[in-house]
Chain A
C-alpha cells in the first residue's frame, strides 16, 4: 500500500516526468534530423527548424537520389548486407549445429573458436592479409573477415541445444541423416533464434563503415555507411555533388540530414522486429525462471 503514501505519489510524478523526458531524448534528435531534411535552406541555416519542417520541400531527397555516388553506395550496402548475412548464417548455423552435439574434439574445437574473441591480430596484420590475398577493393573484403563470429556461434548453439532431443531421435529412427535432421528439424524449430542473430548481423553489416574506408581505395566502391562517414564527418564536398546553382538553393545540412535519414531508415524499419524477437526473448526467458 506504498502506492498511497504522499511520498511515493510525489516520487511517481517526478519519475514519470524524468523517464518520459529521457525516452524522448532518444528519439527527438532523429526527428530534428528528419525536419531539417524537409526544410528550406533559409530555415535550416537560420536555425528555425526544431522538430517540424519549415517551408516543406522534397528537394534534398530528390537531390540525394539523383546523386549517383549515393545510390551506388547504397547498392553496395544492400549487396553486402544480404550476401554477408546469408554467408554468416550459413557458416554459423552449420558449425553451431555440429557443436551442439557431443563428439570427439568438440571442446578443443570450441576453444579454437572462442579464442578468436579473446585475442586478435590487430588492425595492421588484418590489413596486410586482405591486401596480400588480393581482396582489396572487392566485396569479399567486407564480407569474409567478419563472416564468422564466435558470439553468434555460441548463441545459435544454445538455441539448438534447447530443442528437445526426442525430435532428433525420432528423425534418426525414421532414417534421417545428420544433414536432414539439421535442415528439416533444427533450422525450422529455431527460427526465432536465427531471426534474432540474423537481424543483428544485418544491422552490423549495414552500419559497418570502417572496413569500407580501410579496404576500398576508391570512394565509388564505398558502402553507404563509409560514404556517409566521408560526407558527414570528414565533410567531403564531393559526396554532396552540388552544382553552384543547387548550392544556392539547397542547404548542405538538409542534404546531410536527408542522407543520414535515408541510411538510417532500414534500421528503423527492422527495429520493431529486432525488438520483438530480441527483447521479449530475454524478458520472457527470465520470467519463466
Chain B
C-alpha cells in the first residue's frame, strides 16, 4: 500500500504542478473577489471580527460534517499505521502483538547496516531512482520540443495519443509483455540478432542488464505522460518572442536554445526539485513484477526487500524498520524539496 501511495504521489505531482501553473491566476483573482462578497453574505458576521468557536460551529457545522468521512478514513487507515511503526523498535511477534512484544531499541535499525542484502538494496534503490529521475526529466523535455516541431496537427495528435497510453497500463500487463518479448528467444533478441548479429541477452535475468532494462522500460511507460506538462508550457510561450528572434536571424535551433528552453526552465526546476522526494523510490510495482533471484544483486530495492524480509521471512520488526528508515528520509527530502520549490518558484501544495 505504501508503495502504491508513493507511486501515485509521483504521478499526480506532474498534474498538480500543471494545475498550479495554469489555474493559479484565476484563483487569486477570484479570491480577491470573494473576500468582499463573503462580507455581506455570511449571515451578518463581518470577517474582520474575531469569531468564537461556538459561533463558527453554529454557522459552519455542515462544512465540518462534510469533512467527517474523510477524517475518519484518514485516522484509521493513515494515522493508525503511523502509530504502528513502533514495532520497528520491537522484536515483533504476531502472537504477542504490539503491546507484549519485546522492546529492543534501535537493534533493527543497526541490522540494516550489518546485512549485505539490505545495504545492497539501498545502493540499488539510489542508483535506479536517481537515473530514473534524471532520464525521466531530460527525455520528456527533449521529446516535447521535438513534438512541437511537427506542424501537421493530425499527426501530432496521433503521436500524443499513442505515447500517453503506456502510462495507464499496469506494470503487471507490461511485465507480461516484457517477459515474452525480452526472453532469450523473444522478439527483441531476434531483432538484435538479425540487425547487429548480437548474441541473445537475458535482459531480465542478467544482473549486468537488469538496471538498464528497468530504467528504459520505466521511461517507455512514463515519458509521454511526463511530457504533457512541458508541451503545455511550450504552447503557452508568447509567439512574439519567436518573431523577434526570427527577425534577428536566429535559426530554429537558436530559437529553441534561447527562447524555448529558457521559457521551460521554471517548470523544469520545479519538477526536478519535487523529484528529490522520490530519491528512495525506485518503483516497487515495476521491480516486483520484473525481478527474480538472479538479479537481486543489482535489482533488489528497499521496497521489495521490505516485502521479502517481513511478509515472506517473518521479520516484521526488521521489515518495518527498513520501511521507516526509507519513509523517514523521504519525509525530510520531500519537506526540503517543497521548501525549495516554494522559495524558487512560489510552488504551494495547496
Contact = CB atoms under 8 A, between A and B. Distances in A.
Instruction: Output the residue of A90, A91, A275 with the most chain B CB within 10 A.
Output: A91
B122 to A, nearest CB: 16
A114 B33 CA distance: 27
Nearest to A12: B149
A129 B64 contact: no
A263 interface: yes
Contacts of A15: 146, 149-150
Interface in B217-255: 220, 224, 228-229, 231-233, 235-236, 246, 251-252, 255
B310 A123 contact: yes
A192 to B, nearest CB: 13
A146 B327 contact: no
Interface stretch (B72-80, B127-135, B207-215): B72-80
Given A232-B179, A233-B175, A148 B236 contact: no
A161 interface: yes
A138 B323 CA distance: 26
B186 to A, nearest CB: 8
A91 B77 CA distance: 14
A203 B170 CA distance: 9
B70 A285 contact: no
Contact of A286 (B1, B21, B33): B21
Given A26-B163, A129-B81, A148-B77, A161 B228 contact: no
B340 interface: no
- Interface of B, helix, strand, loop or mixed by DSSP: helix
Interface string B75-92: 011111111110100000
A83 interface: no
A202 to B, nearest CB: 11
A203 B165 CA distance: 12
Contacts of A169: 37, 41
Contact of B235 (A18, A119, A178, A283): A283
B203 interface: no
Interface in A89-112: 90-92, 94-95, 97-99, 101-104, 109-110, 112
Given A19-B159, A121-B80, A279 B228 contact: yes
27 contacts: A22-B163, A26-B162, A29-B181, A94-B69, A95-B71, A102-B38, A104-B51, A104-B53, A109-B71, A116-B74, A119-B327, A125-B82, A126-B1, A126-B84, A129-B81, A144-B77, A148-B70, A158-B23, A164-B30, A172-B41, A207-B170, A209-B172, A260-B177, A271-B165, A282-B228, A283-B235, A287-B235
Interface of B: 1-6, 8-9, 12, 15-16, 18-19, 21-23, 25-27, 30-31, 33-34, 37-38, 41, 51, 53, 56, 60, 62-64, 66-67, 69-71, 73-74, 76-85, 87, 94, 98, 143, 146-147, 149-150, 155, 158-166, 168-170, 172-173, 175-177, 179-181, 185-187, 190, 220, 224, 228-229, 231-233, 235-236, 246, 251-252, 255, 284-285, 288-289, 303, 306-307, 310-311, 316, 319-320, 323-324, 327, 330-331, 334-335, 349-350
Given A29-B177, A122-B85, 10 more contacts: A12-B149, A15-B150, A27-B162, A149-B8, A151-B16, A161-B31, A162-B23, A228-B172, A283-B231, A285-B232
